[in-house]
């Protein structure tokens, strides 16, 4: 079991000081039921905590990244970014289903295909990392696996494609220009403007050029 746990720690790039917290985050309620373990000693309490930690870190991330977003748009973007489907995808990426402690009557394949169970497992893991290593450790994990460029682009609803369609329909020319690049290599921030026939329709910011372009496209769509 120890070698398996070490493998999981390698996958998530975090080593626990207290592995009991990790084991608790992996304890499915069916395992507790079969072994007469109190329901408070499953991953459900950690899931509750991890959900709150995820909401705080993702809110802070979006608030700082999109300083021109309204409260409503920030809320909508956060909901899309940390939705059950995305968190379940993270769980499958690190194959957390292979490490869950489950009851003998439970089918591991079924758990793997269950978005809700996989989402709960990731939130419990976040809760465990937070208790073991603090907010910074939880933030590192969340930034690496949840607040990724791919997930952020999904949550942006691909505004670039929608804008390109509209621009093509009115026979105009759309280009994106980087107007500012700040920060060190590991924490870049880009500012990009969207021009339609050389007129600025939107100025977006993001951790990458693609993110900034999506933001600029969203603003341009609003003006069109």
Active-site amino acid positions: 51, 123
Phi, psi of 58 (to 5 degrees): -70, -35
Compute how many other C-beta atoms are within 10 angstroms of the C-beta atom of residue 6: 12
CA distances from 121 to 12, 43, 115 (A): 13, 7, 10
- Nearest 5°: the CA angle 90, 84, 28 is 75
DSSP E strands, 125-198: 174-182, 189-196
Q: If you search the block for the tokens 């905590």, which residue do you land on? A: 49
CA distances from 52 to 123, 125, 188 (A): 9, 12, 27
Compute how many other C-beta atoms are within 10 angstroms of the C-beta atom of residue 18: 12
């Amino acid at each position: 079991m120890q070698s398996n746990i070490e493998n999981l720690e390698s996958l998530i790039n975090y080593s626990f000081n207290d592995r009991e917290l990790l084991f608790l985050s992996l304890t499915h309620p069916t395992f507790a039921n079969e072994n007469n373990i109190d329901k408070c000693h499953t991953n459900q309490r950690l899931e509750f905590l991890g959900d709150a930690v995820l909401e705080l870190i993702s809110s802070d991330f979006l608030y700082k990244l999109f300083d021109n977003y309204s409260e409503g748009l920030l809320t909508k973007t956060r909901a899309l970014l940390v939705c059950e489907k995305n968190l379940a995808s993270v769980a499958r990426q690190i194959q957390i289903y292979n490490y869950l402690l489950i009851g003998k009557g439970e089918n591991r394949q079924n758990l793997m295909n269950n978005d809700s169970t996989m989402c709960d497992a990731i939130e419990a893991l976040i809760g465990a990392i937070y208790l073991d290593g603090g907010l910074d450790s939880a933030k590192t994990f969340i930034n690496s696996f949840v607040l990724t460029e791919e997930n952020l682009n999904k949550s942006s609803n691909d505004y670039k494609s929608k804008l390109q369609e509209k621009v093509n329909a009115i026979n105009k020319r759309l280009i994106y220009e980087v107007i500012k690049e700040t920060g060190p290599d590991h924490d870049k921030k880009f500012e990009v403007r969207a021009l339609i026939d050389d007129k600025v329709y939107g100025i977006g910011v993001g951790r990458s050029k693609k993110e900034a372009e999506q933001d600029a496209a969203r603003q341009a769509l609003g003006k069109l």
